[in-house]
Structures are given as structure tokens and as C-alpha cells.
A and B are shown apart, each in its own frame.
Chain A
Amino acid sequence: MSVLMEFAMFPTDKGESVSPFVSKIIKMIDESGYEYRLTPMGTIVEADDLKEILSLVERAYKILEPDCRRVYSAIKLDIRQGAENCLEKKVQSVENQIGKVKK
């Protein structure tokens, strides 16, 4: 199974720039072993199971919890049985039709 998640999580009580907080979360994801892509609007992570993905969300929140009174998160999921490596394959499907695209 492939569970793709696009998510963004940041505090709403820490001013205009929240990259110090986002960076801590990205560091955790980077060290988690899950395949991911960082984009300017969110991070896309792939796991084999919904529980694993939701556990990552919880781990992300736990990083912010000690310092942040309010945390905002937007999450999108694509859960596909019998599939794997969708992080690559979804883009490849497009590239197969129109050639290489910017990533």
C-alpha cells in the first residue's frame, strides 16, 4: 500500500516567519527514513500504512508543542492499495505523457 501525504504544519503565534519551527519538523522527517519531498507550500511524505503517516504527524506536533500555543496544519492524503513508490510514479506518469518536467 502507498500512503502519500502532503502536509504543512506551523505555529500561528510566532510571527511572520516560521521557518525555524518548520525546519525542526523537516529534520525529523529527514531522519525518519521515509521518502519525502520538501516544497515551498508543504512536504510530501510516503509510507506503507496510514498509521505510520499519522504517527509522523503526531511526532511533528510533539516537536512544536513545548513552544507553541497554537499550531495550524493542512493535510492531504492519497491512499492507494497495491501500489508503492507513488512519490516517483505519479510524476513519472505525467512525464511519460509530456516529457521531463521541473521538479
Chain B
Amino acid sequence: MHAMKIRIRLVAFRDAPKEVYEQARNRLIECFPIIHLAFVEEAPDAICFASGGSEQLAVSLMEPGRFYLLLAGDQGNAYAAATEVKAWADLNGRSTKLVTIKQAMEDKILDRLAGVNQARHQLQHQKAALIGEVSHWLVASHFPLSLVRDRFGIKMIHLPWKTLPDYLEHPPDEEFLNVFAESKKKDLEKEARIHTFLQHIVQEYQLDGVTVECFSMVKDRGATACLSLALLNSRNILAACEGDLVSLTGMMVTRALTRHVPWMANIASINHDHVLFAHCTAPLNVVRAYSLPSHFETDKSAAVQGDLDMEDVTIYRLNAQLNKAYIAEGRIVARPKHAFACRTQVEVALSPEDLHALREHPLGNHHLIIPGRYGDLFRWFGWVSGVQAIQG
């Protein structure tokens, strides 16, 4: 799945004989046979300590603002040297993780680092757009668009409504009408026009994702984008609601890391052992069956009410500075259809610590629900990218 490439710099004591390096190099190749280890002099992802006495060389390699994996062998005071360097890194604001080669092998740490590097590389070639404006109620989900480029390399552009053609002047999308024909919802012509419009924008600007100020569409023209966003997501075009920039960024990170398109949802309620997540759209390929009732808040147009086809899930949410993240793993315990919340709903059981963090230190309302358990991968992404996981 990932191009398994890690740049490694070997360090040892001054004037160490060639054999010290050769031995460390051979051990790494033996321990990590499926990962492409590039032994480099500069800009390493990992620094491997072949012996003690290597501290000065190691710190000379470590630039500010970059993450380094410190890999230590178990001979010749290699671990002792790595510990000293780890302490220097903590004092001097370098982000590091110190592990033994054995631990890295057992916990597949190099695989994770390679996956994270691949995801970060992928994000640097992605482009997304805010269509319309960020909804005014998203007071904790708004940032200058340059931030997402600075943090993750994603190009995110703003396309105000006044610069775009009228979405209802586009012809209805045939594929859209075919996909939703079985739903027996009678009139989806406006929604199908919105889909043509959004597809047109995605193609014209060569976008990997969009976030749409969708409530103004219902208010002004009586049609939601819920179905179009569901279809775009199931076609692997990331599509977030309400002009939420943080959610779109999180969706892009999620797909780059896990290959999954997440479900973006509100926290509808939290009780003693679970959270109720709900939203009026969901990628069609993550629901087993769905119907198209009206949109919850406006009771107009159409929304997706689906049975989410997931069991174990990861919950992910960035903050508006893109330097903190909520990361939790849980299990879906119910798929209710309460009348008091948005149409697609799930109850997710979480640990007391994760529920506490969500109650006491939420980073915002919208959270991403991802099938599978990826907490560790998101935490590694955070260490490498300077995104701190919040604790419960």
C-alpha cells in the first residue's frame, strides 16, 4: 500500500571503523526486509545509533521543526547515546521518538513512519476548495487558508459564490438521478443540478476535496447538497459540509493515511459510556442501506439516513490551529433513528478517558468517523507533523 521508504543516517563514535557501520547497516536490513532503507548522510527520517560516543554527530543532524526517529541498537552503549540525544532534543525543541531496533521491529514502527511519510508527501500534492463561506456558527473551525498549506502543504483556495455560476442553471446529473432512482424520492432535480455544479467545480479546479457552504442553498433555493456530498465522497472526492475547513483538512489527512473516506458528523449527545454522532449525509459506500428523508434542521429537500457499515471505528478531529487532534478508538453499539437529530446516526462506545476529553476539551463539534482502528497511525502522523494528541 505504501512506498516503504525510510531515510536513515547511521551514527557512531568518532573515527569508528567501517565494520561498526556495516554491522548496524546489516542488522537493519535483516530486521526490516520489506522496507526500502535509504542510507543517507543528510536529512534523515531516522537516526540509528551504532555505538556510544555518537551524540555530537547525531545532534548536528537535527534541524528545528523536523521529527526524528531515534533507533538504538543494544550494544556498545548505543541506547545510552540515544537517551542523551533524546534529552537534548527535548531541551531544544526537536520532536523525537526513541525506540530500540527490536521494539521498532515488533511494533512495525518503521512501517508506520513510512506510511506517515507517504501520506505527508501525498498531501503536498493535493488541492481543495472552500465553496461559499465558512458557516457563521463554526466559530472553532475557521482558519486562514494559508495555514493548511503551511502545516500540511495542501493548497486550499476560496471560491466565493459570486465568482461561480448559478448552481441551479446546470443540467441535472444523469448518474445522480440513476443512483437515487431507487429511493422513490420523487423530485430530486434541483439536487441533481447541484451535483452537476459541484462536479464541474471539482473538474475545473482539479480538486481533491471541497467544503461547501450548504445551508445557504437550502435557505435560498430550497435544495440541499447532502446527496451530492454523499455521492462525491463515495466517488473518492472528499466533500465536507457547512464550509467546515477543519473537517475537510481532517478528511484529507484521513484519506492520505488510511485510504478511507471518513464520515463527518455532529456530536448530538454524550452519555456515560457512548457518544451519539449524527449528520444528514454519509458516503454512500459506507452505508448498508439508506433512505432519503428531508434535511433535519430545515425539513426541506433530501438527506441521507443510512445504516453505517462499520463496527470498530476511529474518531478524529483537528483543532483550528491544526496543531492538536482528538484521536479515539471505539465501537459502534447502536444505529438509532431518533427524531431529534440529523438523519444518519450511530452510537459509539468510547473509553471513559476519551469521553472525558470530548466533554471537557472538545476541539469543535464535527468529528470524523473512520472504519477500523487507526489511533496509532494518527498519533504517529501527529508526532511527525507537530499535531499533539489531546489527552482525556
A residues touching B (Cβ–Cβ < 8 Å)? 30-35, 48-49, 51-52, 55, 58-59, 62
Does any Cβ of A come within 8 Å of B146's Cβ?
Answer: yes
**When the two chains form their complex, are residues A31 and B158 in contact, meaning their CB atoms are under 8 A apart?**
yes
Assuming A33-B157, A52-B157, A59-B160, what are 9 further A-B pairs, CB within 8 angstroms? Answer: A31-B158, A33-B130, A33-B145, A34-B157, A48-B127, A48-B206, A49-B205, A52-B205, A62-B162
From A31, A35, A55, contact of B163 by CB (8 A): A55
Give A25 to B163 CA distance when docked, in angstroms.
15
Number of A-B contacts defined by CB within 8 Å: 34
* Contact residues on B (Cβ < 8 Å of other chain), bracket: 10 to 19
Nearest chain A residue, comparing its CB with the CB of B145: A33
Nearest Cβ distance between residue B66 and chain A, in whole angstroms?
A: 18
Residues of B within 8 A of A55 (CB): 163
Nearest chain B residue, comparing its CB with the CB of A55: B163
B residues touching A (Cβ–Cβ < 8 Å)? 127, 129-130, 144-146, 149, 155-158, 160, 162-163, 204-206
A-B CB contact pairs (8 Å), 7 listed: A30-B144, A30-B146, A33-B146, A33-B156, A33-B158, A35-B146, A51-B204
The 9 A-B residue pairs with the shortest CB-CB distance, nearest first, are: A33-B145, A33-B157, A33-B156, A32-B158, A33-B158, A31-B158, A59-B163, A32-B157, A34-B157
Residues of A within 8 A of B130 (CB): 33
Residues of B within 8 A of A33 (CB): 129-130, 145-146, 149, 155-158
Q: Mostly helix, strand, loop or mixed at chain A's interface? A: helix
Nearest Cβ distance between residue B200 and chain A, in whole angstroms?
A: 13
Nearest chain A residue, comparing its CB with the CB of B155: A33
Residues of B within 8 A of A52 (CB): 157, 205
Counting chain B CB atoms within 10 Å of each CB, the highest count among A33, A59, A62 belongs to A33
Residues of B within 8 A of A34 (CB): 157
Residues of B within 8 A of A51 (CB): 204
Nearest Cβ distance between residue B8 and chain A, in whole angstroms?
A: 26
Residues of A within 8 A of B146 (CB): 30, 33, 35
Residues of B within 8 A of A31 (CB): 144-145, 158
**When the two chains form their complex, are residues A35 and B149 in contact, meaning their CB atoms are under 8 A apart?**
yes
**When the two chains form their complex, are residues A32 and B204 in contact, meaning their CB atoms are under 8 A apart?**
no
Counting chain A CB atoms within 10 Å of each CB, the highest count among B149, B156, B157, B206 belongs to B157
Residues of A within 8 A of B155 (CB): 33, 35, 48
Residues of A within 8 A of B129 (CB): 33
Give A48 to B155 CA distance when docked, in angstroms.
10
Nearest chain B residue, comparing its CB with the CB of A51: B204
